[in-house]
Structure 1
Amino acid sequence: MEKNRRLWLKQIGLGVAGMGLTNFDSLASPLAAEKLTTGFKDEANLIYLRSNENPYGPSPLARKAFVDHATISNRYHWDIETQLIAALAQKHGVQEENIVLGAGSTEILDMVAKLASSNKGNYVIADPSYDYWTVTLDTLGLTKNRVPLTIDKKLNLQAMLEAVNPDTKLVYICNPNNPTGTICEREALVAFVTKIPQNTLVLIDEAYLDFTQQQSLCTMVKDHNNIIIAKTFSKIYGLAGARIGYAIANKTIIEAMANLQSNTNNSVSVVSKLAAIASLKDTAFVSNCYSLNEEVRHYTIKELQKLNCECIASTTNFIYFSLSKYHKDYFKQLENNGIQGGRIYEEEGKWTRITVGTMAEMKQFIKAIQ
């Protein structure tokens, strides 16, 4: 066991950073022997295609940061958050005062929900969209105003704009949208945001924007006091379990959000912050993940279409498709083959979502449902 551990640590060293696409799949998960020591024995052979995680794991530089700095976890190390925020500010072309950290973008969304709910009213959200976090809004008394997607499963920005009224406290835009994988054209989104009243918060969730070539709206916070951009290291950076996200907004909003944290910027662990700093430096890893995701996603869509499953053109690391013309028990097929997939998001059309895993995983997925 100790030999295996040393071998694994050696494999995730800096030498791996220069690997090409051909052997990139080897990063997908730790050795099976390692899983036995962490309580995952019964799940060692499962294929996880449910939560839009990066199947290639954290980057080699991030893994090295975890290993090299585990021993400093007994200290708070306040300076590390300063380093990370500075790096993020430089990356996005904003000031350090425009950023606050959170334990994944989930905490960021929760902070925005609390901020928006300081006064009663309503919030506007597309349907379907990522809405697990909105339980906080509902609990705190805001009324949910759902706006259906267009026929091609895109956000209906005009209808969302028309849904805004004087009592609207928050408009939520997930771009690209989860679970559909569709994206708003940047020009249309900019025009939409500028039409929202300044006393209504606009939360733009860019969790999956790294899987596209579209430019972030983060620089708009300089001139718009009501815009909040939510970002995360959970997706293309492969740090979902490390729980690290951040918000970009006007200084006044950032200060208001920070007041909703008991210890500003410190719900994220020291090693997670260091892993995030390392991830920002590993541009080769991010580029490889992007390229692999493109290749595997196109393969999967092509194979799903052969099975009479209508697919929505995706810009993300997941695919939204219809089971209306699929004549087997899809979810039973997944269960029988040890695959964790999504659920039904829209009963009409039986629309579901599947995460894009490695090529080997997606070939197993297609074989399982054939």
Structure 2
Amino acid sequence: MAQNRRQWLAQSGLALAGLSLWGKQSLAKEFGNNNHSSYRLPGNIIKLSSNENPYGPSPKARMAMAEAVALSNRYPWDTTTVLREKIASINQLKKENVLIGAGSSEILGLVAQLAALEKGNAVAADPTFRIWWTAAEKSGLEILKVPLSADKKHDLQAMLSRMNSQTRLIYLCNPNNPTGTVVDSNLLKSFIEEVSSKCLVLLDEAYIEYCGESSLCSMVSSNKKLVVAKTFSKIYGMAGARIGYALAHPDLIQQLNKLQPWENAGASAVSLAGAIASLDDNDFLMKSKKLNEEAKQFTIAELSKLRLPSIPSHTNFLYFSLKNYTGDYLQRMAANNIIAGRLVEPGDQWYRITIGTLDEMKHFISAIK
């Protein structure tokens, strides 16, 4: 079954025409609504391609963001400081350990640029989240790709062996995107302690709230070579608000600040207000995690019945193989108004699919049968 990229791009474009209408309809909803109702695109389109939380932003975040619109004529310097202090307090750090960016993607790009100030290479798993690769390569870093293990996990020993005297950065996405696998926090901590003596380490924890592993952000208090990238785009449901942050030693934060045109100024007043409120809405976070797990387990079970194997996932997406599938997957997705993830590994036809609501995943399974 060949991947039809043109078909996939056309399918993804289905959502564009109605985005303006969708935004107006979403804003018209009651901001204080505590129900975990999903936010659908117009035309009954189901989007399962970008690992977004179908239930977010949280009720508290929506209300705070609505109120912040009136203050958008002012620079949100004070609000930025409040968020940095709140993030620091939650993680038992100081605000000097926190850098705010327009999504964690900005953070990844900044770290890549910093590492590339001295030409060399960056070591990363393959496949993994690679949005930062282009910035790294254009800045002079060669990407040394290390295949995942047979069970689709980071092969830490192989990554260590791939490093050399020219290695400036090692990237770890935990849990890993697109496979959903996780590295034990104790193993990862030991690995980071070893390799950070040789180069910068970028730990991407975009999906850490979905899994049972602990964040390793406490390491930044003493480790001057570690950057932990985090985001409000995933479990907090604020992907469109574009706000994320880095946790690092103050000395390293200062180096990253110098690469920003205006330090900590990438997020809007509305996004900052939503992020602050999100951190106070633990009920929403827990419900999102519970609903995601229920929909994920349903999807895994149904794919198994169809003899379509999947990798145990610790995230809000699933990595599954269509090697044994005889239908036209993308055609069936398009026919059922589903925007699905692309092919990642052609060999055994590994795809990634976002976990939506239970109803959306039932529709997905019905479409794939």
TM-score, normalised via structure 1 length: 0.91
Distance 2:81 2:179 in 1: 36
Amino acid at match of 2:315: T
The answer as to 2:228 corresponding to 1:209 is: no
Query: 1:10 deviation in Å?
Result: 6.1
Q: How does 1:31-180 map to 2 (within 5 A)?
A: 43-180=42-179
Per-residue CA distance 1:120-144 (angstroms, 9 max, x = gap): 1000000000012210011111111
Q: How does 1:212-251 map to 2 (within 5 A)?
A: 212-251=211-250
CA contact (8 A) 1:198 1:225 kept: no
CA 1:298–1:96 in 2, change beyond 3 Å: closer, same or farther? same
**Greater mean alpha carbon deviation, residues 281-290 or residues 43-52:** 43-52
Corresponding residue pairs, total:
346
Per-residue CA distance 1:148-205 (angstroms, 9 max, x = gap): 0000101101100111111100000000000000000011101111111424000000
Query: 1:12 deviation in Å?
Result: 2.1
Amino acid at match of 1:67: A
Query: 1:11 deviation in Å?
Result: 2.5
Distance 1:361 1:185 in 2: 31
Query: 1:80 deviation in Å?
Result: 0.4
CA 1:197–1:75 in 2, change beyond 3 Å: closer, same or farther? closer
The answer as to 2:368 corresponding to 1:358 is: no
Residue 37 of structure 1: aligned partner: none
Amino acid at match of 1:54: N
Q: How does 1:183-332 map to 2 (within 5 A)?
A: 183-332=182-331
**Greater mean alpha carbon deviation, residues 356-365 or residues 69-78:** 69-78
CA contact (8 A) 2:26 2:39 kept: no
Per-residue CA distance 1:227-272 (angstroms, 9 max, x = gap): 1000000000000000000000011110000011111111100110
SS at match of 2:70: helix
Distance 1:65 1:220 in 2: 32
Query: 1:347 deviation in Å?
Result: 1.1
Query: 1:226 deviation in Å?
Result: 0.5
The answer as to 2:180 corresponding to 1:181 is: yes
Distance 2:177 2:29 in 1: 36
CA 1:6–1:268 in 2, change beyond 3 Å: closer, same or farther? closer
Distance 1:232 1:10 in 2: 25
Distance 1:8 1:204 in 2: 35
Distance 2:29 2:127 in 1: 44
Unaligned runs of 5+ residues in structure 2 are: 1-23
Distance 2:216 2:103 in 1: 19
The answer as to 2:30 corresponding to 1:11 is: yes
Amino acid at match of 1:297: K
SS at match of 2:132: helix
Unaligned runs of 5+ residues in structure 1 are: 31-39
SS at match of 1:11: coil
Distance 2:143 2:284 in 1: 39
Per-residue CA distance 1:97-134 (angstroms, 9 max, x = gap): 01100000010011101101001100000000001221
Residue 367 of structure 1: aligned partner: 366
Distance 1:331 1:307 in 2: 17
- Given the alignment, which residue of 22, 29, 32 partners 2:39? 29
Query: 1:7 deviation in Å?
Result: 10
Residue 36 of structure 1: aligned partner: none
Amino acid at match of 2:155: N
Distance 1:205 1:7 in 2: 30
CA 1:77–1:343 in 2, change beyond 3 Å: closer, same or farther? closer
Amino acid at match of 1:336: A
Moved over 6 A (4+): 5-8
SS at match of 1:122: strand
Distance 1:9 1:70 in 2: 15
CA 1:358–1:197 in 2, change beyond 3 Å: closer, same or farther? closer
Distance 2:328 2:27 in 1: 39
Amino acid at match of 1:64: M
Query: 1:8 deviation in Å?
Result: 6.3
Query: 1:72 deviation in Å?
Result: 0.6
TM-score, normalised via structure 2 length: 0.91
RMSD (Å) for aligned C-alpha atoms: 1.5
Query: 1:44 deviation in Å?
Result: 3.2
CA 1:8–1:224 in 2, change beyond 3 Å: closer, same or farther? closer
Distance 1:115 1:331 in 2: 39
Distance 1:249 1:148 in 2: 28
Distance 2:250 2:204 in 1: 18
